[in-house]
Amino acid sequence: MKICLVHDDFVQSGGAESLFATIAELYPDAPIYTSLVNWQKLPASIGKNRVRPSFMQKIPFATKLYKLLLPLYPLAFESFDFDGFDLVISSTTRFAKAVITKPGTAHICYINSTPRFLYEEEKKSDYLHWTVSILMSPYLKWLKKWDKASSARVDLYIANSTNVQAKIKNQYHRDAQVVYPSCDTAFFRPSNQTGIQSDKKDYYLVVSRLVKWKKIDIAIKALQEIKANLIIIGDGPDKERLERMATNGKQKAIRDAKEKTESKITFAVWVTREELRTLYWGAKALIITQEEDFGISAVEAQACGAPVIAYGKGGLREIIQDKKTGIFFDSQDSSSLKDAIFTSSRLKYNKLAIRNNALRFAKTNFEEKLKETVSQYVKPA
C-alpha cells in the first residue's frame, strides 16, 4: 500500500512529537504532511526530505506566530492532495484529522487530545490571550462547528487513553480503539550507580511545558511552603511569571524565616535525555499538577524507578497505581499537593514495582498494537 502520514505541526517539542516520531519509524517510506515546521524542533529521527509543509510555511515568522495564524489551519489541512495514497495516518491534538481523502483512501487518526481551547472553556485563555479570544469569539464558535464536522472524515479513531476515548465519544460521537503511547523504557531505566541513594535525594521534579493551564505555580507555592527543593524542566509562555513567583517567594522567605532552610526553585529550559534520566534518578518524586490526557513524563519517571505525585484526573489515572507507584491529590491547590507530598514521603515504595508498572508502555508494545490495529482495519490488496 502507498501510505502517508500527517501531523499537526512541528513548532514545539513534546510527547506528541516523540510519539509521532515512533509512528514515522514504523512507516519509513511514508511522506509526512504538516502545517508548519520549525526545523530545529523536528525529531532527529525524521529526515527533512520526508516533510511536506503547507503554504503556511511561506509566511514570515509563521513558526513564532503560529497561534495568531489559527484561521489558516483549516485551509492548510484541507489543501493537501492525497490522490494516489491507499492509507493516511494522522496524529493530532488539534486539526490534522481534518484532511480530505477520497472514498478509496482510508484515514486512520491517532488522537492524543481534542482541541482543549475549543471544548474546555477554562483553558481557552491559556491558549489565546483574552483580547485575542474576545476578538476571535465568532470565529472560534465557527471553528468548533467545523472541528465537529471535519471529525466525520476519519474512518477509524485510535485514542491514546480511555480518557481521550471518552472525549472522542462525547465531542465527536465516534467510537475509538485505545492504543497507549510508548516510552523508551530501555533508555529510561533505574540507575545502578551506587552514588545515587534514596537518602541523597533532596529535590522534587517537574517536567512540563510552561503554560498557565499546567498549574505549575501550585508546585512552586507548595514546595516554598514546606521549604523543599524543586527543579522545573521546560519552557513556554508562562516561564517569566513562574520565575518571578519563585524569586518573590524566596525573597519573602529570607525576610520572614526564623531558620536558615528555604526552598530552592531551579529552572532548566532544556536538558539532554541523559540529563533528564539522571534527574529522574535523583528526584524524590515527579510532580504533575495538571490534568493530562495521558502524561508521558509519568511513564518515564516510573521507568526510572521514581514515584509520581499527580493531580488525580484524566489519563494519569491509567498510568499510576495509587500508593504503589505514586499518589494522587484531588484539588488543584498547594494545600492538597502538600498533603500528597507528606503522604508520599511516608510510603515505602518498591522501585522494581514502579519500574514494572511502566513496562506496560514499552515501545515494542505500542508498535505491535498500532500495527495490529492498522492491519486489521486496512488489509493490503
Q: What is the DSSP string of 224-263?
A: HHTT-EEEEE---TTHHHHHHHHHHHHHHHHHH-SSS---
Pair 246, 156: CB distance under 8 Å: no
**Using one digit for the tens of pLDDT, what is the confidence trace for 324-354?**
999 999 999 999 999 999 999 999 999 999 9
Tell the residue number behind the cell numbers 486496512, with chain if given. Answer: 378
Which helix (H) or strand (E) element contains residue 176?
Answer: strand 176-178
Cβ neighbour number for residue 257 with a 10 Å cutoff:
11
314: phi > 0 → left, psi -120 to 50 → alpha, else beta; which?
left
What interhelical angle do 15-26 and 296-303 show, nearest 10?
80
Task: Give every CB contact of residue 313 below 8 A, 6+ residues apart in sequence.
Answer: 291
Q: State how far the Cα of 251 lies from the Cα of 244, in Å rounded to an integer.
A: 11
Burial class (CB in 10 A: 0-12, 13-18, 19+), 56: buried
Contacts 24+ apart (CB under 8 A), 71-75: 71/136, 71/139, 72/35, 73/35, 74/98, 74/143, 74/146, 74/150
Half-sphere exposure of 138 (CA within 13 A, CB side): 1
Q: In this structure, which amino acid lies at residue 171?
A: Q
Tell the residue number behind the cell numbers 552514588, with chain if given. Answer: 195
pTM: 0.87
Whose CA is closest to 243, among 232, 253, 252? 232
**Structure confidence at residue 344 (pLDDT):** 96
Q: State how far the Cα of 326 lies from the Cα of 320, in Å rounded to an integer.
A: 6
Stretches in the chain below the pLDDT threshold 70: 122-130, 193-200, 249-261, 380-381
**Structure confidence at residue 129 (pLDDT):** 67
Q: State how far the Cα of 90 lies from the Cα of 108, in Å rounded to an integer.
A: 6
284: phi > 0 → left, psi -120 to 50 → alpha, else beta; which?
alpha
**Using one digit for the tens of pLDDT, what is the confidence trace for 268-326?**
988 999 999 999 999 999 999 999 999 999 999 999 999 999 999 999 999 999 999 99
Where do the domains of the chain lie, and which CATH numbers do they carry? Answer: 3-182+362-377 (3.40.50), 198-361 (3.40.50.2000)
User: For the chain, first and last CA: distance in Å?
Assistant: 8
**Structure confidence at residue 135 (pLDDT):** 77
Angle at 204 between CA 220 and CA 356, to 5 degrees: 135
Q: What is the DSSP string of 72-118?
A: GHHHHHHT---TT-SEEEEEESSSGGG----TTSEEEEEES---HHH
Half-sphere exposure of 54 (CA within 13 A, CB side): 25
Three cell numbers at 114? 481534542
